[in-house]
Amino acid sequence: MKKILLPAFLLLSAASTAVAQQQPQFSHYGFNGMYLNPAYAGIKGQGEITAIGRSQYYGYDATFDSGGTLQTASLTASLPVAAIGGGLGIGIYRDKVAQLSTTNAQLSYSKHIKVGEGRLGIGVQAIFNNIYQGTYRFIDEGDVKIPREGSDQKFDAGVGAWYESDKLYAGLSFNNLFRSGYKFNSEVVGGKTAEYINENHAYLTAGYNIEASSSVVVTPTLLVKMVLPGKFGDNSKFAFKNNSYEVGARATFNERFWGGIGYRYDESFTGMAGLSFAKDNAMRVGLAYDLVAFNSDARALSSFEILLSYRLPKPGLLVRPAIRTPRYSF
C-alpha cells in the first residue's frame, strides 16, 4: 500500500485493512471504572457522574501540518437500580487524532451478586461507534487507499465482570466484540473502498486499599489493556509489545486529598493530585500530568488530564420499616 503523508504517529491509525485503532486510555483509570467495564454500573451502591478531558502529547509539532495533539473527552454515569437487581450505566467519548475522529456511546447493564464481603457485577454493553475520516494529503497521486472525507457508523457490544469490596476491586472486560469494519469512499473516483477496523480490546484492572494510618489510605493500582487477535492481523496482534501496562499508587488523606504516581510501560511516568469537597465529599476534582520518558520520537513530552466527578447520595428506603414491639403481640 502506498503511503499517506501524515505525522509519524498517525501511521498507527491510518485507514487501511492492515492497521487498526487503539482506543484511548486515561491516567485517571483508578477513578473511571464505568469507562473500562460495563459490570461497574452501580456496583458501589450509589450513583456517579464522571467527566475527563485529556490532551495527549501537548504541543506536538508535526512539521508538515499544524497541530497533532490527541484530544479526548469522556463522560460516564452509573446508577444502582434495586428493581432490576443491579445497575445501569451510560457513557460517551470523543477522540480526535488529527484527521481521524471517533465518537463512541455505550449503554450498560450490570447484575449484582453478593460474594463474600463484596459484590460481583456481571455486565453487558451496547456500543455505537461513529468514525469520521477527514482530508488526507497523498504522496503518490492516484492511491486508491486514501479515503475521501466522510464517516461510517456501526453498532457493537461488550461484556465484563467486576468485583468490589471495601478493600479490593478487580475487573475484566471485552469490548467491540463484533470487530466491525468501517468503509470510506476512496479519494480516487471509482477506486477501491478504503477500510478501517475498530479493534477488540480487553481491560484488566485492579486496586487494593491499605490503611496506612487512621487518616491515610494507600491504594496500589494496575491496568492492562490488551489488543485481542482477529481476522485483521490474526494472532500476531496479541503480543506483549501491542499491549499497554500501567501500575501506580495513590495516597488519600482524611478522605479528601490525594496524590499519586504511575508508570506506563515503555512510555511515561505520571503524577496526579486532587481533592474532594462539598457535602459528604461528593464533588471530586483531579489533575494528572504524564511525562514521556521512553520512545519519544514523533511525540511531545507532556500530556495533561483533568477529572471532575460527582457522587449521588446513597438511595434511602422509600417506606419506613415496621417497628416490632411485644406490646401488641398478645
Give residue 301's pLDDT. 79
Tell me whether residue 164 is in a domain. Answer: yes
Pairing of strands 194-198, 20-21: parallel
C-alpha distances (whole Å) from 167 to each of 46, 113, 209, 250, 280 are 17, 17, 5, 14, 20
Give residue 160's pLDDT. 98
Q: CATH no. for residue 119?
A: 2.40.160.40
- Residue 22 burial by CB count (10 A; 0-12/13-18/19+): exposed, middle or buried? middle
What are the pLDDT digits (tens) for 125-139? Answer: 999 999 998 777 777
Tell me whether residue 137 is in a domain. Answer: yes
Neighbouring-strand partners of residue 323 = none
Tell me whether residue 100 is in a domain. Answer: yes
Sign of CA dihedral 298, 74, 83, 163: positive
Average pLDDT, the chain: 84
What's the structural domain count of the chain? Answer: 1
Tell me whether residue 176 is in a domain. Answer: yes
Q: Name the pLDDT band for 235 (thresholds 50, 70, 90).
A: low
Q: Name the pLDDT band for 4 (thresholds 50, 70, 90).
A: very low
Give residue 246's pLDDT. 96
Cβ(309)–Cβ(48) below 8 Å: yes
Give residue 75's pLDDT. 98
What are the pLDDT digits (tens) for 84-100? Answer: 999 999 999 999 887 88
What are the pLDDT digits (tens) for 196-210? Answer: 778 889 999 999 999
Give residue 329's pLDDT. 44
Domain containing 228 equals 23-274+288-312
User: Is 249 a residue whose pLDDT tops 80?
Assistant: yes
Q: Name the pLDDT band for 242 (thresholds 50, 70, 90).
A: confident
Task: Decide which of 124 and 150 is more confident.
Answer: 124
Give residue 13's pLDDT. 35
Tell me whether residue 3 is in a domain. Answer: no
Q: Name the pLDDT band for 46 (thresholds 50, 70, 90).
A: very high
Cβ(184)–Cβ(147) below 8 Å: yes
User: Is 319 a residue whose pLDDT tops 60?
Assistant: no
pTM of the predicted model as reported, rounded to 2 decimal places: 0.85
Tell me whether residue 13 is in a domain. Answer: no
C-alpha distances (whole Å) from 111 to each of 12, 65, 125, 162, 258 are 37, 48, 12, 10, 31
What are the pLDDT digits (tens) for 146-196? Answer: 777 788 999 999 999 999 999 999 999 999 998 888 888 776 666 556 777
What are the pLDDT digits (tens) for 264-312? Answer: 999 899 999 999 999 999 999 999 999 988 876 656 678 999 999 999 9
Angle at 227 between CA 221 and CA 229, to 5 degrees: 140
Q: Which residues contact 204 (CB under 8 A, 6 or more apart)?
A: 171, 172, 222, 223, 224, 226
Q: Name the pLDDT band for 68 (thresholds 50, 70, 90).
A: low
Tell me whether residue 242 is in a domain. Answer: yes
Q: Name the pLDDT band for 228 (thresholds 50, 70, 90).
A: confident
Tell me whether residue 163 is in a domain. Answer: yes
